[in-house]
Amino acid sequence: MNNLLRNRQVEFRLLVVLALLCAGLSLATDTFLTMANITSLLNNNSVNLIWAVGLLVVLIAGGIDISFAVASSVVQYAAAKFLIGIGGGNWILGFIVCGIVGIGLGLINAGLIHKFRIISIVVTIATFNAFFGLLMFFSGGRSIYSLPDWWSDRVILFEHQAVDGTWSELTLPFAVMVVCVLLTWILIRRTNVGRQLYAFGDNPEGARRAGVNIAAMQALAFGWCGMMAGIAGLMQVNIVQEVVPNALYGRELEVLAAVVLGGARLGGGRGTVTGCVLGVMFVAVTQNGLNLLGISPFAFQMIIGAAILVAISTSNISFSSLGRIRMEGSK
Amino acid sequence: MPESGGAERHALRLKAVSKTFGGVKALDGVDFEVLEGEVHCLAGENGCGKSTLIKIVTGVYKPESAGLIELFGERLDGITPVQARDRGVSVIWQDLALFANMSVAENIAFDAMVGLRPRGVDYRGMKKRAGATLERLGVTLDLDAALSTLPIAQRQVVAIARSLMNDARLIFMDEPTASLTQSETDRLLDIVRRLSADGVAIVFVSHRLAEVLEIARRVTVVRDGRLVGVYPTEGMTQARLGELMTGHMLEDSVAARDMSSAPAVFEANRLGRPGEFENIDLVIRRGEVVGLCGLLGAGRTELAHAMMGMSEPATGEMRLHGDVYRPTSIRAAIAHGMAYVSEDRLSLGLLQKQSIVDNASISVLDRLLDGLGLISNGKKLGLIRGWVEKLGIKIGLPDDAISTLSGGNQQKVVLAKWLATEPKVLILDSPTVGVDVGARAGLFRIVRELAEQGLAILLISDEVTEALYNSDRVLHMVQGRIAGEYDPSTTSVQALEEAIYE
Ligand SMILES: Nc1ncnc2c1ncn2[C@@H]1O[C@H](COP(=O)(O)OP(=O)(O)OP(=O)(O)O)[C@@H](O)[C@H]1O
Ligand SMILES: [Mg+2]
């Protein structure tokens, strides 16, 4: 237990802060702690969470990805064109097509990083621009509204009507998000391949000497992130029922912030699915709370920025002092 | 090569192996052979190519040319780290190559995780196996602790445990004792003997020649990437081995002078910090080298930290040139003319990806400004050339990344970095860990010169001979207190060793 607290300090702290935040909001507003609000919070953040776990894997492996949100847009557009082209398709085909296109885009990043030994931030800023430029060029900036019914129809998994008549429901994106989060957890925590990702992010030279296949790790990290981007793209269409080429542009920083807030280290080797989910939920609840309290959305950006600074600096302080205490105690 | 009745089989045979980095010939046609069950030492100066040889056998580097690479009688034309491990080769890397954010257990058991065939991770089994291996070493560590929370000596133990995990038949140990205490070293040497008796071949690299002669059956000496020869350790002396490694005679002798009339530079009066050290009275005079011996954990490093403003003493006071000295940070200490070459040399305070020049000049950037207030490259290079020459640092180009240097040469860069600040008081905390015999002699010649120029020096050392031969006075610290003072000119190595390791 003691160990759990020590090794999961960031997560624990974030959980406490999130709990306090929720408690505060439930007292300050009478809309926050309603089933309708909570479920819509979960539905609306499904896409962010799917992205977040994809990005988490890249961060653990010591990389960074700026291009995933735009990649989702590319996937949406390509999948819509293709599926409409073959006469509509269905959910299974949708998952396959989006997954494959997403993985393909991720592998482009991995290939460039590995082959030309360019750092990932440079590569993904480049592909971010390239993906977006190509998408705008081919789509001419036009949105697609007439989508196959299976894609744009809401799939409700759970619904409930409160006494005052408001409906609350959980939809397909929520369930898909849960599956993505679980799969990512299994990958990074429960498989040998995932542990090699951590090792590679932590000490690339050490991992190489131990025989870890570096190219495969890069491909896995960015391929996984790409697959999540593909699935997130598929789900986002299901939520908004249209494909707008520039709709996701700019969402990447918010997700990156949330993942870093959740304890993933820029530089690799550290980060957990729990922390990642808490990070996204913290950002979501903050935004939701400010909304309910009627505070300017710009305050949100400042608060998130400040929270990241606090999270990063305090975690460093406590880690090093912890190290010193243990050293003294260990003699 | 005909074998003598097949009784002694080869674990490893290398013939005519060469490797070049840029312009540097790290290995030039080297032959190397290890028999099964043999403890074989690989000796040579810093940068002679020992670590490179290990990396070639384990497939980390590809040699330019190799007449023959043979593991357990099997001839290999290209080898990968995984193939090497499958054939029973494991390594304790000089820089440990561990994973700072992973737990101790996972670090120890990591090699079993390698490979792309997906498998589940059995954390409980992993902990059990890691625990059992640590037990073999006679050490207990918190298996769940993140590696980054461990002091350097314990990380070394983790690296040793890791190499023992997969029933290796050939183990390379690249300076495994560099940051171990005497008792830990003894235990490791015991294990090496036991492994050897079980038929495991061990290639042992160390700059502590006494250790080498004690443990090894044969020693292969390499100089500047070339093979000097293979010698039995029977009948070999440290002096002779040092001569083979460096190509010239090295002499050790007591050089203590009586400095009691020189003015005091640094004084500590009844200095104390609960749990670390207490009642420390210490004077270091102008031009004096004061040796500080004791077991690990005696409080020597903690005392140095207090002197450098890295921790605050609770009682007593320090004086510099007679004035009260109360540093609140390392920076303040440096500004007062204090310098500290720390013992934690695996992290080294070096920026691994930056160049050699930048690393060496980082602490004195303000003195390298040109007329415009910009950092002058010319001055920077001048500074480096001077120290490279004085310390005999083996480098390619000053602009190469520091990570291209051999381990021992990286340590010399750290020393250069501190000497460049032109300090008044220099604290050397185990300065020769991982430094070869030739360079040690060079280092202490410089320490002497610096002392002669008036520098006050505190030499913290784990090696009794080193402290005795190079200090003017030796202090002995036990459990946070200074227990005795010895005059090197009237004290024998044995007497001091007995006092310390009684
Ligand atoms: N990756 C690299 N790039 C460039 N040069 C290198 C590289 N690795 C080693 N060298 C050079 O090759 C030579 C041999 O280095 P090596 O690390 O094998 O020395 P060593 O015998 O292990 O020394 P030490 O006792 O200091 O550890 C050195 O001159 C070093 O600078
Ligand atoms: Mg070496």
Residue B463 and residue B333 in one domain: yes
Tokens 């020459």 sit at which residue?
B389
Judged by CB atoms closer than 8 Å, whether chains meet at B145 and A327 is answered as: no
Q: Residue B309 domain-assigned?
A: yes
Contacts of A28 (CB under 8 A, 6+ apart): A289, A293
Element (H, E) at B41: strand B39-43
- pLDDT at B436 (0 to 100): 80
Q: What is the 3-state secondary structure (H, E, C) of B218-271?
A: EEEEEECCEEEEEEECCCCCHHHHHHHHHCCCCCCCCCCCCCCCCCEEEEEEEE
Q: What CATH number belongs to A2-329?
A: 1.10.3470
Q: Which chain A residues contact residue B55 at CB under 8 A?
A: 209
Residue A298 CA to its chain's centroid (Å): 22
Residue B325 and residue B438 in one domain: yes
CA of B413 relative to ligand 2 center, distance in Å = 15
Tokens 């699935």 sit at which residue?
A231
Model pLDDT for residues B62-115, shown as the tens digit of each residue: 998 888 899 999 998 888 999 999 999 999 999 899 999 999 999 999 999 999
Q: Residue B79 domain-assigned?
A: no
Residue B378 and residue B447 in one domain: no
- pLDDT at A1 (0 to 100): 47
CA of B21 relative to ligand 1 center, distance in Å = 9
Instruction: Count up the domains in chain B and report the number.
Output: 2
Residue B409 and residue B265 in one domain: no
Residue B458 and residue B323 in one domain: yes
Model pLDDT for residues B163-208, shown as the tens digit of each residue: 998 888 999 999 998 878 777 888 889 989 989 998 999 999 998 8
In this prediction the ipTM stands at 0.88
Pocket of ligand 1 contains residue B48 by CB under 6 Å: yes
CATH number (domain holding residue B330): 3.40.50.300
Pocket of ligand 1 contains residue B291 by CB under 6 Å: no
Residue B445 and residue B482 in one domain: yes
Cβ-nearest to B151 among A3, A265, A327: A327
Residue-number span of the structural domain to which B467 is assigned: 251-337+423-502
Mean pLDDT by 10 residues, chain A (331 residues): 65 91 92 90 94 97 95 96 92 96 97 93 95 94 92 89 84 96 96 96 94 95 98 95 92 90 88 95 92 85 81 53 32 29
Q: Which chain A residues contact residue B58 at CB under 8 A?
A: 209
Residue B428 and residue B409 in one domain: no
Q: Residue B189 domain-assigned?
A: no
Please tell me the distance from the alpha carbon of residue B172 to that of residue B11, in angstroms, as a whole number: 12
B143 touches chain A (CB under 8 A): no
Q: Residue B165 domain-assigned?
A: no
Q: Whole-model pTM?
A: 0.82
Parts of chain B with a pLDDT under 50? 1-6
Element (H, E) at A269: none
Q: Residue B31 domain-assigned?
A: no
Residue B310 and residue B323 in one domain: yes
Pocket of ligand 1 contains residue B178 by CB under 6 Å: no
Neighbours of ion ligand 2 (CB under 5 A): B 51, 94, 406-407
Residue B300 and residue B440 in one domain: yes
- pLDDT at A175 (0 to 100): 96
Domain boundaries, chain A: 2-329
B78 touches chain A (CB under 8 A): no
Q: Which chain B residues contact residue A3 at CB under 8 A?
A: 142, 144-145
The pair of three-digit structure tokens given for residue B381, joined into one six-digit string: 């290079």
Question: What distances in angstroms separate CA B429 from CA B296, B305, B319, B426, B442, one per listed residue?
Answer: 12, 10, 21, 10, 17
Please tell me the distance from the alpha carbon of residue A281 to that of residue A307, in angstroms, as a whole number: 13
- pLDDT at A5 (0 to 100): 62
Best probe of the B interface among A8, A193, A270, A325, by most B CBs < 10 A, is A193
Residue B363 and residue B463 in one domain: no
Residue B454 and residue B314 in one domain: yes
Residue B332 and residue B442 in one domain: yes
B419/chain A closest Cα distance in angstroms: 27
- pLDDT at A2 (0 to 100): 56
Size of interface A-B (CB pairs under 8 A): 103
